[in-house]
């Protein structure tokens, strides 16, 4: 397709040219005439009349969404069309977790920015606990893939070209375990992850953080974090200064941080959960719908900080409305952050993610929320990746440009913007929504993670899957992934790991149950078959999975952090080698029993008996073994 641009497009031409390969078009005077006009406002108009096109747009990001819509509809060989959209929010964008080992490399991040551009996002949060450079603190982000100031500036320049505001999101209180573990930071530490408040050295350090992270970005907005700081004042602080009410510590610390933010002319946001928790009857409850916000708490929150209400679990619109109303008690409308569940699993939980998104964004529109974000966390080493969330991101984008979501339009748009169909993305859901899990997977069960990493001799989750035909499920899923592969799609590589993981789980998922049954029955023929055939086959498939995962990681991320997954895969293979040795020794009569298989299989989560899921575990080290991986020291 050729396009002949007309009108005022000088400020857009470099971005348009960069999208030529992505959208399969070229520029030339013999092309379809397309007139471009800019007007004030948050709307866009796209039309084709008698072979001539027109785009009328407000913000720059609206132009790029409109440009994609024009090409999409023209390529469908439709008759004349006229499309009008109105942006429902002032800010709409994803939050990328760049702190849980997976730090996106620059080419990958730029690819993501182009996708966000076509969808119509106008912002993105970069969640960086210690993965940005502080020149005077060499241990800050040491060997963690931290971004240099120059790299962040390149990303900001690239995003700005498309009208996307990049916003740094850091931590100025809790979630700093990865920096505070170093002896060089011991003077800043209250507990493992919480800074020592009311300390001059701490505020000198926070000044360095805010100065360093804000410098590469054009935006004056900054997210200062401060969520999940339940340990505040309970470590070194308690021993050194004695007990002090957490609310007083929180508000005093916030005042110090805001003074630093103001010094650099920045506009702050912060997570709201600690204030909501401190208002609850126990001081710990985040989502207690009966919690009332007392006047004394309202008075303690400074006016010059925007609260960000995060919620990824509720599926009913009225629950979001009620929580937004609680936030309004602080005197202003909060920002909202939902989530696409890419974390703590190899699968992407679209069953839950799409339901929560629909409910949350309807409530945000009804309650006048103007700043909306969608989080893509990477807990426990980020075995998944943010590109698998693109269907969820597209849903946020489509909601942002209409009062009511049009599901057919969502289906068409995600196919156009990503090259991948909606159904293909939904296959990722089936890695965890297996037999035994209720439709929708509302309880966040994650068998794709625990069935891969659990030990074949210890079988900590074997009781959870008794009587389920997982071999057929994962074998069928492997075939589904094979059928949708498309070498011509630039994002096809995101299905390589799910395909190979399905191949592994089709033979590994129930191997522990088969092993235990054969051992209990003293069926030496089956035990020999498992040791000589099944376990070697699983090891072979795991190695293929590891290589695919490694290729995907280095394509998307910086190398730092991959060593964690290399160690996990290596440990899994070596444990199966040990299982083969143990089985052979038993079959040959060298040992009288296999003690690991003598043990009764218990539930990992006993509550699973009353659940619609199959259990959940957030941590690899708990899945792999019930024994000690590391000695847990006191909080500080």
pLDDT tens for residues 199-226? 999 999 999 999 999 999 999 999 999 9
pLDDT at 139 over 90: yes
For residue 464, what pLDDT is reported? 96
Mean pLDDT, residues 609-635 taken together: 87
| 473 and 548 within one domain | yes
Residue 132: partners with Cβ closer than 8 Å, 6 or more residues away = 141, 146, 147, 152, 168, 170, 212, 213
C-alpha 229/C-alpha 274 separation (Å) is: 7
Is 549 part of a structural domain of the chain? Answer: yes
56, 86, 116 - which closes a domain? 86
pLDDT at 632 over 70: no
| 182 and 52 within one domain | no
Is 162 part of a structural domain of the chain? Answer: yes
Which burial class, exposed, middle or buried, applies to 618 when counting CB atoms under 10 A from its CB (0-12, 13-18, 19+)? middle
C-alpha 569/C-alpha 508 separation (Å) is: 14
Question: Which residues on adjacent β-strands are paired with residue 339?
Answer: 375
Mean pLDDT, residues 112-137 taken together: 98
Confidence of residue 444 (pLDDT cuts 50, 70, 90): confident
Mean pLDDT, residues 99-115 taken together: 98
Confidence of residue 77 (pLDDT cuts 50, 70, 90): confident
HSE-up of 379 (CA within 13 Å, CB side)? Answer: 15
| 242 and 169 within one domain | yes
| 168 and 48 within one domain | no
394, 420, 446 - which closes a domain? 420
Closest CA to 569 of 488, 501, 513, 630: 501
DSSP-based three-state secondary structure for 368: coil
Mean pLDDT, residues 262-284 taken together: 91
Is 449 part of a structural domain of the chain? Answer: yes
Is 364 part of a structural domain of the chain? Answer: no
C-alpha 341/C-alpha 332 separation (Å) is: 28
3-state helix, strand, coil in the chain (%, to 5): 50, 15, 40
Is 252 part of a structural domain of the chain? Answer: yes
Mean pLDDT, residues 33-39 taken together: 96
| 447 and 377 within one domain | no
| 234 and 101 within one domain | yes
Strands 26-27 and 43-49: unpaired
The number of distinct structural domains making up the chain is 3
C-alpha 219/C-alpha 543 separation (Å) is: 44
Q: Which two tokens stand for residue 543?
A: 């190695």
Helices (H), 280-349: 295-300, 317-328
For residue 287, what pLDDT is reported? 86
| 489 and 413 within one domain | no
Q: Residue 342 CA to chain centroid, in angstroms?
A: 5
34, 54, 86 - which closes a domain? 86
| Contact predicate 36/7, CB 8 Å | yes
Which range among 523-527, 597-601, 609-613 shows the weakest confidence by mean pLDDT? Answer: 609-613
pLDDT at 288 over 90: no
Closest CA to 505 of 464, 528, 457, 472: 472
pLDDT tens for residues 546-557? 999 999 999 999
Is 150 part of a structural domain of the chain? Answer: yes
| 497 and 400 within one domain | no
Q: Which two tokens stand for residue 212?
A: 């360093």
Neighbours of 550 (CB within 10 A): 16
Edge-to-edge strands of the sheet including 2-7? 26-27, 2-7, 32-38, 52-57, 43-49, 81-86
Q: Which domain holds residue 49?
A: 2-86
| 97 and 58 within one domain | no
Strands 81-86 and 43-49: antiparallel
CATH number, domain containing residue 20: 3.30.160.230
Mean pLDDT, residues 147-171 taken together: 98
> How would DSSP label each residue in 111-147?
HHHHHHHHHT--EEEEE-SS-B--TT-TTTTTTTTPB
pLDDT tens for residues 298-339? 999 999 999 999 999 999 999 999 999 999 999 999 999 999
C-alpha 70/C-alpha 45 separation (Å) is: 10
| 137 and 70 within one domain | no
Mean pLDDT, residues 176-185 taken together: 98
- Cα distance from N-terminal residue to C-terminal residue, the chain: 62
| 44 and 180 within one domain | no
pLDDT at 78 over 90: no
Is 109 part of a structural domain of the chain? Answer: yes
pLDDT mean across residues, the chain: 96
Q: Cα dist. 413→57, 66, 342 in Å?
A: 19, 12, 21
CATH number, domain containing residue 604: 1.20.120.670
Confidence of residue 634 (pLDDT cuts 50, 70, 90): low
Mean pLDDT, residues 107-123 taken together: 98
Q: Cα dist. 575→230, 319, 453, 462 in Å?
A: 37, 46, 10, 17
Is 328 part of a structural domain of the chain? Answer: no
Closest CA to 541 of 476, 484, 475, 596: 475
Mean pLDDT, residues 381-408 taken together: 97
| Contact predicate 343/377, CB 8 Å | yes
Closest CA to 102 of 497, 446, 448, 418: 497
pLDDT at 80 over 80: yes
pLDDT at 272 over 70: yes
pLDDT cut 90: percent of the chain above it = 92
HEC per residue, 523-548: CHHHHHHHHHHHHHHHHHHHHHHHHH
Between helices 390-400 and 407-418, what is the axis angle to 10°? Answer: 130
pLDDT at 87 over 80: yes
| 143 and 223 within one domain | yes
Mean pLDDT, residues 578-606 taken together: 97
Alpha carbon dihedral 525, 528, 533, 536, in 10-degree steps, equals: 160
Confidence of residue 630 (pLDDT cuts 50, 70, 90): confident
Q: Model pTM greater than 0.75?
A: yes
pLDDT at 591 over 80: yes
pLDDT tens for residues 5-15? 999 899 999 99
pLDDT at 283 over 80: no
For residue 633, what pLDDT is reported? 64
DSSP state of 104: B
């Amino acid at each position: 397709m050729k396009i002949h641009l007309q009108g005022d497009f000088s400020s857009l031409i470099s971005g348009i040219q960069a999208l030529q390969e992505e959208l399969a078009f070229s520029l030339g005077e013999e092309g379809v005439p397309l007139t471009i006009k800019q007007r004030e406002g948050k709307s866009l108009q796209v039309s084709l009349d008698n072979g001539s096109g027109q785009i009328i747009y407000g913000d720059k990001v609206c132009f790029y969404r409109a440009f994609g819509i024009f090409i999409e509809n023209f390529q469908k060989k439709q008759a004349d069309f006229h499309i009008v959209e109105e942006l429902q929010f002032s800010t709409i964008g994803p939050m990328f977790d760049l702190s849980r080992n997976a730090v996106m490399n620059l080419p990958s991040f730029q690819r993501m920015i182009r996708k966000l551009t076509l969808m119509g996002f106008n912002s993105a949060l970069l969640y960086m606990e210690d993965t940005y450079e502080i020149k005077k603190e060499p241990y800050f982000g040491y060997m963690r893939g931290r971004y240099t100031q120059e790299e962040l500036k390149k990303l900001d320049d690239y995003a700005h070209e498309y009208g996307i505001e990049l916003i740094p999101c850091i931590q100025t209180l809790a979630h700093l375990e990865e920096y505070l573990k170093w002896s060089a930071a011991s003077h800043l530490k209250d507990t493992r992850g919480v800074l020592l408040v009311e300390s001059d050295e701490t505020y000198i350090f926070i000044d360095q953080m805010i100065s360093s992270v804000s410098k590469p970005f054009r935006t004056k907005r900054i997210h200062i974090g401060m969520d999940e700081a339940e340990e505040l004042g309970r470590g070194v602080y308690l021993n050194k200064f004695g007990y002090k009410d957490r609310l007083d510590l929180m508000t005093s610390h916030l005042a110090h941080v805001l003074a630093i933010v103001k010094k650099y002319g920045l506009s702050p946001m912060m997570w709201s959960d600690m204030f909501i928790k401190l208002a609850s009857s126990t001081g710990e409850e985040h989502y207690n719908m009966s919690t009332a916000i007392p006047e004394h708490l309202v008075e303690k929150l400074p006016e010059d900080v925007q609260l960000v209400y995060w919620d990824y679990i509720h599926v009913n619109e009225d629950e979001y409305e009620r929580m937004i109303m609680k936030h309004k008690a602080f005197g202003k409308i909060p920002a909202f952050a939902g989530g696409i569940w890419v974390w703590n699993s190899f699968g992407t939980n679209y069953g839950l993610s799409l339901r929560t998104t629909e409910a949350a964004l309807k409530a945000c529109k009804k309650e006048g929320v103007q700043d909306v974000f969608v989080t893509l966390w990477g807990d426990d080493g980020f075995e998944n990746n943010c590109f698998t969330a693109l269907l969820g991101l597209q849903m946020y984008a489509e909601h942002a440009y209409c009062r009511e979501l049009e599901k057919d339009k969502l289906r068409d748009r995600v196919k156009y913007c990503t090259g991948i169909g909606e159904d293909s993305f939904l296959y990722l859901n089936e890695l965890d929504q297996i037999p035994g899990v209720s439709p929708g997977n509302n309880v966040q069960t994650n068998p794709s993670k625990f069935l891969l990493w659990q030990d074949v001799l210890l079988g900590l989750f074997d009781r959870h899957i008794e009587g389920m035909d997982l071999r057929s499920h994962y074998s069928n899923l492997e075939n589904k992934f094979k059928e949708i592969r498309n070498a011509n799609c630039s994002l096809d590589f995101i299905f390589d790991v799910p395909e190979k993981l399905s191949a592994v789980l089709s033979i590994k998922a129930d191997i522990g149950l088969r092993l235990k049954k054969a051992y209990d029955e003293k069926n030496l023929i089956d035990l020999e078959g498992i040791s000589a055939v099944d376990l070697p086959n699983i090891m072979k498939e795991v190695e293929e999975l590891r290589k695919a995962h490694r290729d995907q990681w280095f394509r998307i991320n910086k190398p730092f952090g991959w060593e964690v997954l290399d160690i996990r895969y290596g440990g899994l293979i070596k444990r199966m080698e040990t299982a083969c040795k143990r089985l052979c020794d038993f079959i040959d009569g060298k040992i009288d029993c296999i003690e690991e298989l003598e043990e009764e299989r218990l539930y990992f989560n006993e509550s699973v008996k009353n659940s619609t899921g199959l259990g959940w575990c957030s941590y690899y080290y708990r899945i792999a073994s019930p024994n000690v991986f590391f000695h847990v020291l006191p909080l500080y």
